[in-house]
Amino acid sequence: MSFTQAIFEALESLNGNKMRSGLTVLGIVIGVAAVIAMLAVGNGAQASITGSISSIGTNLLFVFSGGTQAGGPGGPGSGRSGNNDRPLTLGDADAISDPFAAPSVESVAPVIQGNGGLVFAGENTTTSISGVTPAYYSVRNLQMAEGEFINEEHSLGQMSVVVLGPETAITLFGHADGVVGETIRIEGQPFRVIGVLVQRGGSAFGSEDNAAYIPFSTAQARLIKRSSRDEVDIIYVQSVSAEVVPQAVQEISSIIRQRHRTPIGVDDFSVFTQQDFLSTFATITGVLTIFLGGIAGISLLVGGIGIMNIMLVSVTERTREIGLRKALGARKRDILLQFLTESSLLSLIGGIIGIMFGWLIAFIVGQVAAATGNNFTPIVGADAIILSTSFSAIIGLFFGIYPASRAANLEPVEALRYE
């Protein structure tokens, strides 16, 4: 029996039991669609996070209080140092900005952070409040939708001015445009809105759209209290280029280590780069994608068991037919090929339909995310299609081997006498 003939006979056999074949194919469809949709969501999440982090520049460094050695309580987003750690200070930021001590550093932006309540005409919200210097604007690669960012005059005069993220502006005013000049209250104190930022979405430290920025000196004196006046929570550093980031890390570490008088290996600070965050998030999303794909793969396994059950039933129903074929000269490999072809076709048809349904599910998830304002697009990659299709084909062959072998090993005489 040729392979082409086996395909036509398999199609004829499957067509004779449309309902049963359809239900068997459904198991594979669900499994393949689930695998593709889950991998698409995982790939989309990874791309979204990577894009958000990369959008703020590949030459940005983050200096935190707290070492990364065992027992060090500090780290990204902690905003505070550990009990035995010396906090970062404005003096540290000034030292890092020295072009002779750190020639690889272009600009430095110390930040002091906290949370506070914002009120305008009865509307109120709680958001993150950052005390920043004018350098923060260029270091973080920000853009203004309207108005201006905090400048030297605002900082030197400890002025009560604020720059809002677009999400915060919408919460307070109902819109993000035309709000410059309005006066809001932050923790009961009046602040004049001087600008609104362009929407950026989330970042490694949460949404930058739901935030308020005030002069560093104003935050120090009136809103955000620290144990010492010159203490800062984080120092953002922009290197001259992405190529000199490793050199900038060494220069920053050497400067702070010398100022804090800490020996090598027991630093009370941490320096992170964009690549560090990208690697961390890539690892997390990669594990999540594998986990989701593994759960979805269970559906494929269940579908394969369904194929084996149906093929076993088919062998039982067609015992006399098998006996007649063998009596007329059909070889063992012909019978084996016939039933393996049927199981493979069931799996292949289910895989093709599953690919279409998986893409449709991913598309719907993307549309829902866009409708809710989330910058997230599921990505259906060729690897997901190849993986799920190959897996479904292998399952069809694997779970078809036993029924096909059982059919091929039937004795013609016994098969013909079967009732």
pLDDT digits 0-9 by tens, 59-105 = 788 898 876 543 333 444 444 444 456 888 899 999 998 988 889 88
Residue 204 has pLDDT above 90, yes or no: no
Give the contacts of 320 (CB within 8 A, at least 6 positions apart).
415, 416, 418
Instruction: Indicate the helix (H) or strand (E) that contains 232.
Output: strand 231-232
- Residue 311 contacts residue 86 (beta carbons within 8 Å): no
Please tell me the predicted confidence (pLDDT) of residue 412.
Answer: 63
- Residue 208 contacts residue 201 (beta carbons within 8 Å): yes
Nearest to 37 by CA among 390, 310, 297, 404: 297
What is the tally of helices (H) and strands (E) in the chain?
13, 14
Nearest to 297 by CA among 27, 26, 34: 34
φ, ψ (nearest 5 deg) of residue 222: -125, -25
Residue 158 has pLDDT above 80, yes or no: yes
Please tell me the predicted confidence (pLDDT) of residue 206.
Answer: 54
DSSP code, position 199 = P
- Amino acid in position 222: R
Select, from the ranges 75-79, 95-99, 387-391, 415-419, the one with the highest average predicted confidence (pLDDT).
95-99
Q: With pLDDT > 70 as the criterion, what percentage of the chain qualifies?
A: 78
Whole-number Å distance between alpha carbons of 167 and 182: 16
pTM of the full structure: 0.60
Whole-number Å distance between alpha carbons of 377 and 363: 8
Whole-number Å distance between alpha carbons of 239 and 246: 10
Q: Model confidence over 230-274: pLDDT tens digits?
A: 889 999 998 888 788 889 889 998 898 888 887 767 778 888 887
Average pLDDT, the chain: 79
Please tell me the predicted confidence (pLDDT) of residue 52.
Answer: 63
